[in-house]
Amino acid sequence: MNRQLPDYPEETLQDSEAKYRKIFHQIDRGICICQMLFDEDDIPYDYVFLEINAQFESQTGMSNPVGKTARESVPALEDYWVEIYGNVAVSREDVRFEQFAAGLERWFDVYAFPYGQADHYRFCIVFNDITAKKNAEKYSELLLSFTSSLSNVLTEEALTDILIAEGLREFGADGITVALIVDDPTMVEIIGIAGYPEDVSKRWINFPIDHPTLPISYAIRENKALWMRNADERQSLIPQTEGLSAEEQHQSWAILPFHVNNAVNGAIALGFNAPTDFSIGEKNFLLTVTEYYAQALHRARLTETLTHHAASQERQRLSRDLHDSVKQLLFASSTLAQSLPRLWQQSNPRSREYTDDVVNLNRAALAELQTLLLEMRPEAIVATPFTILITNLCNGLRGHKSIEIELVYDGPEKLLLPPDVHVAMYRLTQETLNNVNKHSHASQLLISYGADVDTFHMTISDNGIGFEVEEHGVGFGLHTMREWADSIGATIQIVSEIGEGTHVTVKWGKRNA
């Protein structure tokens, strides 16, 4: 059965046309109807704008395109736009895509579909300018990369190197300068510069903050971000430009002061060889980059201060140790040595005892020095055979305490444990002998230890006064000793009773670590 569509009254068609026109012009996307053009080989080469809506010009930046071809309206139009729309016009298949139009310097979200009769090769484009969204995505990725790079470094030089590299590669600058007020508040010092001839870089190492021709001085002095889109804007802001070379006078500039500790400490200057209209997104991005750099710079300075403070404290500690231990040992040794000639002349039987004491005191002083040198170079601990480390600790103990020490060892001649085990066992032994020196009142000490390829064991026993382990569970450095053992998966047993001495046994094995 043949179905025939009813005839619509003229009024109805006019109403439909009016509604179509209203939708066409009020929709918030750009819309255009186009006619594809073909060359003599029936290959699409351009298209004509037949009709546009009100949003078209604001979405594209094009003016009065109706009746003109795309290549007339956008001379730098890329070929792929003609290819895409040519396929829509010929194949009668719609397409949806996102694409950057270099000729318009905009990103578009595009939906194109055939329009009208097939042999007219017309098509309709519905599109939206998504440049802001794309730029936000790009800037977000750049910020993530930039902040990640900054978080991995702790020095002012390294931070500035990253900023300069990113500024030239990712921010699109042709020249970049980073300036700081360092010591003299009236002078600005360049701490990083790139994109300028060598003679220019050398000439502007430092300059007065009230320099009349340099925008970076003006930005720091006035605490004001400068967005100079072209040479005319610079000229109107800072008329005095004499004395500056052509390389220093870019076409556009972004100069951004930054604050550290609530004071203007410097600025970042980006120069561009072409006039630049800085969008809100670009401005926010560069301001955020500047803020991140300032925060990282502040962190680097705090780290440097803390490092110097820690080094100073360590020097003071070593100075105290040298004074409290080594100096006292050497003083006692010197006093005894001065008495020896008189005792030998008198054939005093104590002369032999004094001689032994001098030898022990000097040996102990040497051991203390060797231990302090190891503390200054912790990496040397893992390179020193464990037997030597234990001997040094014992010699140091002999200098502070009249105690008989016996060392029993069963293992390779030069025992080097895995680095973490080597350090942990050394620290654990050091803490144990400190307890013997300070608390035990022992006259005898036995250290028995041994090792093979996969295991290590050590027992330290003294005949001192002993103590109640439960009562002193977190004292006498016992907590520290247990932490060292736990750090390498070793077991430690501390046995002590009042009047019965103390026994510390520690075992480590690769299988249990």
Mean pLDDT, contiguous 10-residue spans, the chain (513 residues): 48 54 76 94 94 91 93 94 95 95 93 91 94 85 79 79 83 87 85 82 81 86 89 75 55 88 82 86 87 83 68 57 52 51 54 55 58 62 87 79 88 89 90 87 93 90 87 64 90 91 92 58
What predicted TM-score, i.e. pTM, was given to this entire model? Answer: 0.50
pLDDT at 8: 45
190: tokens are: 């360049």
Contact 53, 28 (CB under 8 A): no
**Single-letter residue type at 11:** E
- Chain centroid to CA 193: 21
Q: Residue 212: which residues within 8 A CB-CB, separation 6 or more?
A: 238, 240
**Single-letter residue type at 176:** I
Query: CA–CA distance from 479 to each of 6, 373, 439, 442, 476 (Å)?
Result: 97, 26, 16, 22, 8
Rounded to the nearest 5 degrees, what angle is found at the Cα of 159, between the Cα atoms of 154 and 160?
Answer: 150
The string over 118-153, giving b where at least 16 C-beta atoms fall within 10 Å of a residue's C-beta and e elsewhere, is: eeebbbbbbbbbbbeebbeeebeebeeebeebbeeb
pLDDT at 22: 64
User: In this structure, what is the dihedral angle of CA atoms 380, 382, 388, 390, given to the nearest 10 degrees?
Assistant: 110
